[in-house]
Structures are given as structure tokens and as C-alpha cells.
Structure 1
Amino acid sequence: MPSFFYRVIVPLTLIIAFYSSKANSLSEDTSQSKPIWNAIKKGEIHPNVRYFYLKTDNSGDSYDAFAHGLGWGISYETGIWKHWKAGISGQWIYNLSSSSFSTSPQFPILNRYEMGLFDLMNPQASNVLGRLEKLYVNYQYLKSNVKVGRQVINTPFINPQDGRLRPTAISGIWIDWNEISSTKIEAGFINSISPRSTTQWYRIGESIGIYPQGYNPDGSKSNYLGNVRSNGIGLIGITLKQIKPISLQIWNMYVDQIMHISMVQADALWAASKHSQWVAGLQYLEQHALTQNENLESHKSYIHSGDMSRSFGAKFGWENKQWKTSLNFNRITGEGRYLMPREWGKDPFYTFMPRERNEGLGDVNAYVAKLAYTWSKIPLKTQLSHGYFLLPPKDEMALNKYAMPSYSQSNLDVSFEPKGSWKGLTFSLIYVIKKAIDPSILADKYSINKVNMNQINFIVNYTL
């Protein structure tokens, strides 16, 4: 979409909406004579600002990287008129300062994280980049909603994956149905996606391959960007809470011409004492490739005919008002690689830890312990996580798409959210340490931005 639209039309529309919302004194009979205009005046406008500092320190000094990114935007949603409301959001990002996003003979490996703060399809851009992130109409019926247009959804397979300046957004129709007691139904059809680390909108097939493409099962480099065809995604999720203390989720996603995947997850909470409770969960995923793309050359296919994968997960923990603890396990079987476009969202596994994924892998055993504490007298939350990820050999591409060695990972997450006049402001710090489990010396392509590294993420968010 032309930059004129982002720089002029969207801001002008939002400014008009803002002043319209302040115009309640224009006419005493507006609500009777101009009900649509009255809904516009009662709309809400919310500006937001996000600063992100990211620094990756690899073993040695050759491939260290940093970036200072700034994002800002403004969103507006009308009041309700005859069950209807509409919304629009324009967002912009800018590279304040960063290390180089280009390669050279001395440094042939691109930095993996810092470049993703901005636009992977235009990493050298020095100007302000914009995105029309939301543009929708919403029909509200009792406790339920049907939203059509550009929006942000949160599901196990497609989600905001809030680890960059802007989240992943989708365009399509999304239904949030809550009219049955203890039951929630979410369903929709998605025809385009704007992944995080991008500013453009892509058809479903076009969105696959914007992130690194890894290797085919035969060891050749994948080259499916621009070669994947799909007419859309159908997605449905049902959450049942009739059988207390169990909450049961059932999800199914069908990606036209590519794959279908199902997930069943049961989570339970029950009293351990008067002020604490036990938590537990079980999860099962199964994925199958579709066969419509079987005539493509092997290196141009995202997933190959006959491919399938399974995953089993479990967690157990204890928590009270201030403490949360859990032990988590995930097993991806050796039947095939679990494949889910990284452009669409983070892993749904109990063992997921920010700044790494187990997507693209098979024959995985993952173990993660988490310990979180919420301070009672100050608005501070902390969490310490440690994971141990046993992967197939890094050169066994049939089960290791990105040639990732087995690794351990430790995360320290700190979040400070002041109250009072500072409400709306949040400070977050994520410190990551990743180490190869095998102490032998690794070639750069197996270690740089993968293991034997530490990373600082410092984020400031402000939303009015």
C-alpha cells in the first residue's frame, strides 16, 4: 500500500475521529437525529509508544549485534450502533540505531534477532515504516462478537508473538461465541497475514518463507518463498469448562493446500491448601501434510506429501497469590518434523521459552522449570526459567530443519508496571543465556545466534 496512505490518510482519519469524540456538545439531539454520528463521538482513541533495545552477545566478538527500535501508533474504535462498531489502527516503526544488517565475507551470517525488530523484507530501510494494522467492523450479540477485517487474534497456532516492535496481525473473519454456559467457541477464516517483523500484508502462501527457510529433509537448502500456494486458513477452537476443575481445549486448523493440524489440551486447577493450588496439564498435537503441492520441486515445498508429526506435552506445578511454579515436558516424536510457519506465531508447547522455538524439529525431548514471583507491595513481577532441550543431530536435516544443536536455556523476566499517574506504562527486561549441551567446538553456522550466546531485551510500552 502506498506510503502516502500510511503517512497522510490514516493519521488524518484518526485525528478526525479524535476530535469527533470530543464533540459531545455539538447538539443536544444528536443521539436521536444522527445515531451513527453519536456512536462515532462516543468512540475511544488510544495512542501507544513502544521502545525496544535488543543486544545479542555471541561467544567471541565477531557477530555481536544491537538495535534500538521505536514504534508508535494510534487506534480508534467507535461506540456501538445497533450492535455494530468499527475500528482502525495505524502503526509506525523506526530504526533509531543498530549494527549492520548486511553481510560481508568476514561476517557472512545475518543477525537473527535485531533485524527482526524492523522489516525483514526491507532491512536497510532508514525511513519510517508504517502499517495499517487494524481496520474492521464488529457485530456484537449479547456476549459474542463477529469481527471482519484486519485484526489481531490469539490462538495456539496464530498469535501476536509479542517479541518485536509490532505483533502478527491477520485479515479475515473471526467469531468469538460465548452464548453456551461454560463454553467458548472461536472460529474464523483468514485470507492474509502481516507477520511481526514486516510492514506489508501477504496472502497466506506468500507469508511462508519470509523468516529463514532452513533445510529440506534431504539436506538441500529450502527455497519455498514465493512458491507456496494457499487460498486461506480455516481455524476453530472450543474451550469447555463443564467438568470442574478441568478446562479442555480442542483446536483444529486447516491450511488450504498445505496441512491440517489438531490439538487437544486439558488443564486442571485444584486446591492444595486454603491459599494455594496445584496445576497440571496434558497436551497432544498431530499434524499432516496435504498433497496438493506434491508436483512442486522438493526444495520449493514448505511441507512434503506424506509428512506428519506428533507432540505430547505435560506440566505440573503449584501456585498461590504470589508464587507460581511448574515443571514442563514436551516430546516431539521421531515420525517427522513439527512444522508451523514462524511468521504466524510462537510454539503452543508448555516448554516454550521466549527467544527460541522447537518448530522445525522432530525427535525432541524438552524439559523446562519455571518459577515466578509477584511482589505484593510494588507492581513488580519476576520469572526465572531454565530449559534443557535434547534435539536430533544438527546435521540430520530430516528431523532438524534449522541445523540446531541441543542446548540449554535460562531466562530471567522482570516486568514493572507502575500505577497511579504512571498507569499505562510498562517496563520489561528479558535476559537470555543459551549454551550448547555438547561442549565440543561448533562451526559458526551451528552456534552464531543459536547457542553459546546471551541476550538483553529491554522494552518500554506506553498505552493510553
Structure 2
Amino acid sequence: MKRLLTIITLTVSASNLSAQDTYFGEISGQWRTYYMATWNKDDLKDFHTLATGGKLKYEYDFKEKPLKVGGAIYTSVNVGIQDLTIPDAATGKVSRYELGMYDVQNPSDRLILFPGELYVNYAEHGHELTFGRMKFVSPFLNPEDGRMIPTLEQGIAYKYTNEQLGKVQFGIFNQIAARSSDGFYSIGETIGIYPVGRNPDGKPSGYAGNTDSDFLLTGNLDLNLTPTVGISVWDYYVEKVFNALYIKPEWEVGAGWTISGEWLHQRRVGDGGNAVDSLRYFTDEKANVFGLEITRKLTENSTLSIGYDRIADAGRFLFPREWGREFLFSFQKRERSEGSANSHAVLLTYNQSFTFGDGKLRSIASVGRHWKPELADAAANKYAQPDYTHFNLDLFYTHQKLIGLKPELLLVYKMGNGTIPDNPNFYLNKVDMFQINFVVNYNF
């Protein structure tokens, strides 16, 4: 608590300094309060938590030069409305979602506080180079907004942007502050912070703390081939573990229609993280995901889209959950396709914005049908996830006179499909569950 009071004091002092004529840099940040609750099936344990915290950022702009230096402190405080270290009696498992607001490796620690950003940035004539600790945004490695502290990276990132041609990016990172952790760790150490599931032979995976990888390389090329056709290519090379190539073409057909495709191809690098089979992260030789999405712009304020993804049966799609969301066409908040092979998913999404007075409400309603392999097939169903239908309603509110205030309400229901064995491990935090997320963000 003393550290938290120190941050507040520094914020007030820095704000007073920046109000003077002399330039002392810029202070910004976010105060974030997050309530999350999950109701599980029948007598299985329900979980809820209330977190508060956010970030305090300072940046100095060398006005005469295209150079900036900055840093940000991130914090998450568990208010303590429920003891999340007490597991469900039937399964012996603790919360899957609520603990992710804090340090999942130390669930009794109610405070996270660390310098998440500390960088030098050079930007001129479309070129931008950043060195240090930063936020990095990509389809699979990204900040992600479903927890208190985002995923952050340490390394070097370069980006060149041309409005007519597109964009090219490169990055090399040697440490990651994975969401739901208390700071920066090596690439290999961050793989396995979240539950590890099963090896292909059905035994518990042992890669947590046993994955050998010192750096991550990223590359990106976004090309505007024509005014209506573009393609985005991303590559992720995780040293000694795997390589992932992601290609997404997009075509604006006309009359409000857009057609997009996606292909994710993964292959194992070296021993997949460890020479011992039982301790290996990337177990298969390769994996492939294929997707198609059709979007129709109905009005200026509404769109309707349908997306489909197929994970081939050659190997499990694996990408560390700790590193952010997977922006596949079938992705919905509060569940993942990662860990599956030989599966299908269809997602229908309706996006609508409403304006009333000085306020604006954006709603995203989605329903997804997800077909998973047999629960006993550990080689194709790493986390023993049953077939399910997933309903989400996400609401975002903004107000012209309260610019910094940005509340969000996310409602989630996941319904199990088909015949599911009467085993609580197949239900707890997986299916036949309802969840509410209420977030109040104040940006300053």
C-alpha cells in the first residue's frame, strides 16, 4: 500500500510541474477498476474478484529532434472480496479467469507493481525505432485488454509506414512481461505460466519452467496491392521452440462487402523447447489453421460478419496463451482455439453503435459454435475442452463531456454441447458457465 500511495503522490506532483510554462515532459495514465465473476454449473465453486490499479506514464519529447524517452509503472491490487487461493472442492482447481487479474504464480500476493515500459523512441519520415520495454501489437503477440496489466515486451522494434504502399515491421525481444505475471522474464520462462494441459500421451504437460528459449523474432509486411485488395503477413520465430507464419488476404468486394482469408502454418524448431518428450512445449512437427470471413457493412454504424476456422488434424495449434489474444476469425473473449487439432468453429458477430445526446454506446454481440475433438483424445484436445456454443455481449460507452471515462460491460455464457461425461473437470470454468466483466477505465 505504501508503494501505491507513493505513485499517487508522484502523479499529483508531476501534474503540477507540467502545468508550469517550463516543459517537464508529459504525464498520462489510466486508473482501472475491474469486477469479474464466474458462476459455474450446479454446486461447482463460483468465483469473483475486484481489482483496481492501472498505469502511470511519463514521456519526454525532445522537441527539436524526432526523439522521445518514456516509462510507465503498472499496478494491480486485489481488493480481497474473495480468497482466490481456495480451490473448488470437487476438482481441487482454483479460478481460471479471476486469478489472471494478478500474479497467477503467486495467488496470495495481492499487489503487483513493476516498470512495464522504459524506452527510447525515434520517429521520422515514416520510420520508427523503439528500444527498451514497450507495448507491441500483432495478431498473436499483443497487449490484450482482458486483464489488469497487458502483455509487454523488452527488446527492439522497427516500423516503416507508407500510406499508399503499406507497412513493414521487425522486432527482436529477449524478455516478456506476460499478462498475469509480476514482471519481465525470459522467453522460455513465460511459456507455462498458465495451465499447461496434457501431452499427446494424455499425461500432464511438463514444459512449465523447462522450456529453453532466449529470444523471439517477429516480422510483418502489410501491402496495399490495389485500393481494394490487401494482404498482411506475420512471422514469429521462437528460438528453439517453433516458427509461425500467418497470412491474411483481404478484398473489399464493393457494396459494403469484404472477404478475408487466413492461414497459420507452424513448424517445430529444434526440440520444441526441450529434448525430453514429456517436457517439450511444441510437441508436433507442424500445425495448420485455415479460415474465411465475410463481412457486410449494413449501415454507417453497423456491421455483420461470419467467420469460420478449421484446425487441420496434422498437429495441435499452439501459441503461448500468456502472450495475448489469438485474433483468428472464430475468436471470442474468454475462450481459445489454442491447444486443438482437427476442430471446426463458426462465429457470427453483429457490431452496432448507438448515439444518444452526448453519449455513444457500441455493442458487439457474437455467437460461436465450436466443434472439438473427443475429450479422451489428448493429442488433439490438449485442455479437454468439450464442444460448446459461446454467447458474448460486449458493451462500450463513451461520453463527449467525460472524455477520459470509458466503461465496459462484457457478458459471457458458454453452453456445453452433446454428451459430456459426468466429471466436474470437464465443466468447471469451461462450459455451462456464466460470467460478468464490468470495467471502469479512466484515462488521463
TM-score (norm 2): 0.94
* Deviating more after overlay: 310-319 vs 105-114: 105-114
- Which residue pairs with 2:192 in the alignment? 209
* Deviating more after overlay: 94-103 vs 244-253: 94-103
Q: Which runs of 5+ in 1 are unaligned?
A: 26-37
Instruction: Work out the percentage of aligned pairs sharing the same amino acid.
Output: 29
Which residue identity does 2:62 align to in structure 1? I
Check the 8 A contact 2:55/2:75 in 1, yes or no.
Answer: yes
| Deviation (angstroms), 1:68 | 0.7
Distance 1:376 1:74, change over 3 A: same
- Which residue pairs with 2:376 in the alignment? 395
Which residue identity does 1:325 align to in structure 2? L
3-state SS in 1 of match to 2:335: coil
Check the 8 A contact 1:10/1:132 in 2, yes or no.
Answer: no
2-side partners of 1:260 and 1:226: how far apart? 20
| Deviation (angstroms), 1:262 | 0.3
The one-character-per-residue Cα deviations of 1:32-88 (angstroms, maximum 9, x if unpaired) are xxxxxx5xx2x2211311111111011113311100111132111112342211111
1-side partners of 2:219 and 2:317: how far apart? 20
Distance 1:309 1:119, change over 3 A: same
Highest CA radius of gyration, 1 or 2? Answer: 1
Q: How does 1:30-69 map to 2 (within 5 A)?
A: 41=24, 43-69=25-51
| Deviation (angstroms), 1:321 | 1.0
**Which among 323, 329, 332 is matched to residue 350 of structure 1?**
329
3-state SS in 2 of match to 1:116: helix
- Which residue pairs with 1:285 in the alignment? 264
Check the 8 A contact 1:431/1:457 in 2, yes or no.
Answer: yes
Which residue identity does 2:322 align to in structure 1? E
The one-character-per-residue Cα deviations of 1:276-295 (angstroms, maximum 9, x if unpaired) are x1121011110001124576
Check the 8 A contact 2:241/2:273 in 1, yes or no.
Answer: no
| Deviation (angstroms), 1:104 | 5.3
Distance 1:9 1:96, change over 3 A: closer
3-state SS in 2 of match to 1:445: helix
1-side partners of 2:40 and 2:88: how far apart? 18
| Deviation (angstroms), 1:268 | 2.3
2-side partners of 1:449 and 1:134: how far apart? 32
2-side partners of 1:300 and 1:216: how far apart? 9
Check the 8 A contact 2:274/2:281 in 1, yes or no.
Answer: no
**Which among 239, 242, 248 is matched to residue 231 of structure 2?**
248
Distance 1:317 1:442, change over 3 A: farther
3-state SS in 1 of match to 2:61: coil
| Deviation (angstroms), 1:16 | 6.8
| Deviation (angstroms), 1:10 | 7.2
**Which among 74, 83, 90 is matched to residue 73 of structure 2?**
90
3-state SS in 1 of match to 2:62: coil
* Deviating more after overlay: 101-110 vs 358-367: 101-110
State whether structure 2 residue 431 is matched by structure 1 residue 431: no
Distance 1:119 1:294, change over 3 A: closer
2-side partners of 1:71 and 1:295: how far apart? 37
- Which residue pairs with 1:33 in the alignment? none
Check the 8 A contact 2:213/2:273 in 1, yes or no.
Answer: no
State whether structure 2 residue 97 is matched by structure 1 residue 113: yes
Which residue identity does 2:34 align to in structure 1? F
Check the 8 A contact 1:14/1:75 in 2, yes or no.
Answer: no
3-state SS in 2 of match to 1:78: strand
| Deviation (angstroms), 1:173 | 0.6
State whether structure 2 residue 133 is matched by structure 1 residue 155: no
Count of matched residue positions in the alignment of Structure 1 and Structure 2: 439
- Which residue pairs with 1:318 in the alignment? 296
Distance 1:232 1:15, change over 3 A: farther
State whether structure 2 residue 366 is matched by structure 1 residue 385: yes
State whether structure 2 residue 292 is matched by structure 1 residue 309: no
Distance 1:218 1:321, change over 3 A: same
The one-character-per-residue Cα deviations of 1:338-364 (angstroms, maximum 9, x if unpaired) are 000001111121110000000010011
Check the 8 A contact 1:204/1:231 in 2, yes or no.
Answer: yes
